[in-house]
Amino acid sequence: MRPAALALLAATALAGPASAADETSQIGYVNTALTNLGLTRSHRVVVERFEDPEVRNVACYIAQARTGGISGMVGVAEDPARFSLSCTATGPVEILPGAARGERGEVVHESSTSLFFKETRVHRFLDAQRNVVVYLAWSTKLVDGSPFSAMAVVPASVSPAGAQPAGR
């Protein structure tokens, strides 16, 4: 392989997966432990916001542990598979026709938590019977036979005067 092709392959591997949502914004963070006498990035919990591209007026917030130290600064650390998730309606919730329906849901957010293979994913499920949108965050790393997970539920808007609720 030529050096340019190797460099492109390495950059792609280091970049990690793209988020299924259009944009993820870091809201803030707290340092949880000082590393290397403060000479490198500390261990922290980072709060990020993302929006579901197929459900209007829903903002989801995920808090995730991020490893500090030298390995965290250069992007080769494995972050712990611990997180929390909260989603809220920011206006009338509208489920677009392209939103996947069914028991497998649809990935709406991904973030890499190690250099290779470990990710945090958020799936969206539609519960048309209760007219809610369910978001499930889970880690692709198995811990004691089961991945860590967190869940949030957002009520969908009801259509006017006798029409079918959103998502049906």
Within a domain: 150: yes
User: Is residue 72 one of the residues assigned to a domain?
Assistant: yes
pTM of this prediction?
Answer: 0.68
**Residue 19 phi, psi dihedral angles, 5° rounding:** -75, 140
3 belongs to a structural domain: no
Q: How far apart are CA 47 and CA 63, in angstroms?
A: 4
**Residue 93: inside a domain:** yes
Mean pLDDT over residues 144-158, rounded?
A: 82
Q: Which domain holds residue 138?
A: 17-155
pLDDT, position 32: 76
Q: Is residue 164 domain-resident?
A: no
| Predicted local distance difference test score (pLDDT) of residue 69 | 59
Residue 162, in any domain of the structure: no
Domain contains 141: yes
Task: Give per-residue pLDDT as tens, 18-61.
Answer: 334 458 888 888 887 776 666 656 777 889 999 999 999 999 99
Query: Any idea which of 35-44, 96-105, 114-123 has the lowest mean pLDDT?
Result: 35-44
- Residues with Cβ < 8 Å from 122, sequence gap 6 or more? 50, 60, 62, 85, 107, 108, 109, 110, 135, 136, 137
SS (H, E, C) 50-111: EECCCEEEEEEEEEEEECCHHHHHHCCCCCCCCEEEEEEEEEEEEECCCCCCCCCCEEEEEE
The percentage of the chain sitting over the pLDDT mark of 90, rounded to a whole number, equals 32
User: 165 in a domain, yes or no?
Assistant: no
How far apart (Å, rounded) are the C-alpha atoms in residues 115 and 122?
19
How many domains does the chain contain in total?
A: 1
Grouping H, G, I as helix, E, B as strand and the rest as coil, residue 138 is: strand
